[in-house]
Amino acid sequence: MSTAKPQNAPKPLEGLRILAISQYGAGPYATVHLADLGAEIIKIEDRHTGGDVSRGVIPYAEDGDSLYFQSLNRNKKSISLSLRTPGGQDIFRRLVAKSDAVFNNLRGDVPAKLGLTFPQLCEVNPKIVCCSLSGFGTSGSMKSEPAYDYLMQAMLGHMALTGEPDGPPEKYGLSVIDFSTGLMAAMALMAGIHQARVHGVGCDLDVSMFDTAASLLNYLAAWTLNRSYHPEKTRHSSHPSLVPSQLFPTRDGHLVVMCNKEKFFPALCHAIGADNLANDPRFINFTVRLQNKEELIESLMSIFRTRTNSYWMNKLRAAKVPAAPVNTIEQALEEPLMHERGMIAEVDHPKMGKVRMMGTPVKVSGFHPEYRPGPALGEHNEEIYRGLLGLSAKDLIDLRAGGEI
């Protein structure tokens, strides 16, 4: 019987080359998932400014690198290149001729100033796809305004819905807008590159944090726009209409129960020894449970407080009632499924040693991702400039002397 390891399937995005002028969170988050799937992501960094600003994000930053940078830039390449010099622009356009896409996450009015748009690059490569991820888009009255995740959460109503009703507006604990916009940009890149390969013509792609944060309002926006609905914060992180679907305190922690189908409520009541609630006319369906929410939740709260998280989770799982413990980040990372699903990746870093981080959430049959550390600034200059563009050693010396690389 053979003990040979199975051959790894081809990398799904192998052969795809994307030039990335991006830094910090949203932009690098878009391309790290493409890099994990085999795309060649070439980070263009300006050595005069120290490259990607996230190289210095604290805590855990040292010598032009950080754990923050590593978590968003593994499996990528880095070249140093100044796009603000004629020589740098010439090198950049030579790279565009050999690439599928140019991606940036600059302020909305900057890409055109740096020559990163399709009309400016199509003569070099008619199939080039130019994707801009910005705060407010490349058009409109706010395109030159700075934007960050926190600002979008405030401006688009997200903070007004987060927290307890009697408390102040609160932000998410994670950079949800940054990362959601990054995923939108990754999807946009795949759509644009597909269009270019099928139809032979590239395009501009305009993805903004504002538009993404607005799109996340989804059904709440539909209710508000069409039925004069007034979204408000809810107690105990409860669903606005489906009862009971919320947070419950237990003897030693908290858990979330999600009865988003009628069948789950009687199952919940039976699991916690409260069949009387399931048969009560006040709680017989979603409509009347919403009308009598306070009475029902008070009864459920008193029951859940009597036992521990683990006790109730065992009961609810056995009854097939959707529920989850409210874990800390440390507890979440220790969930067995993290390892079963390959979500803890390990990277051998030349200075930091073994670095653990979150793996790719995209599973492709037969393909097993390999993780390489995020690059040092300009680490791949020789490979890209000499190998891809065919420049000589003297060319590189001259480019360094001129400040282009």
Contact 212, 228 (CB under 8 A): no
Among the listed residues 48, 194, 236, 239, the single catalytic one is 239
Burial class (CB in 10 A: 0-12, 13-18, 19+), 307: middle
Contact 93, 122 (CB under 8 A): no
Provide the sign of the torsion angle of the four alpha carbons 35, 40, 44, 45, taken in this order.
positive
Residue 66 β-bridge partners: 61
Tell me the two tokens of residue 371: 């993780």
β-strand 203-208 against 61-62: which pairing, if any? Answer: unpaired
Burial class (CB in 10 A: 0-12, 13-18, 19+), 1: exposed
Phi and psi angles of residue 51, each rounded to the nearest 5 degrees, phi first:
75, -155
Dihedral, CA atoms, 209, 210, 216, 219, nearest 10 degrees?
-170
Q: 142: number of CA atoms within 13 Å, CB side?
A: 12
Would you call 239 a catalytic residue per the annotation?
yes
β-strand 254-258 against 245-249: which pairing, if any? Answer: antiparallel
CA separation, residue 42 to residues 21, 59, 98, 256, 289 (Å): 9, 26, 12, 42, 55
Just list the catalytic residues. Answer: 239
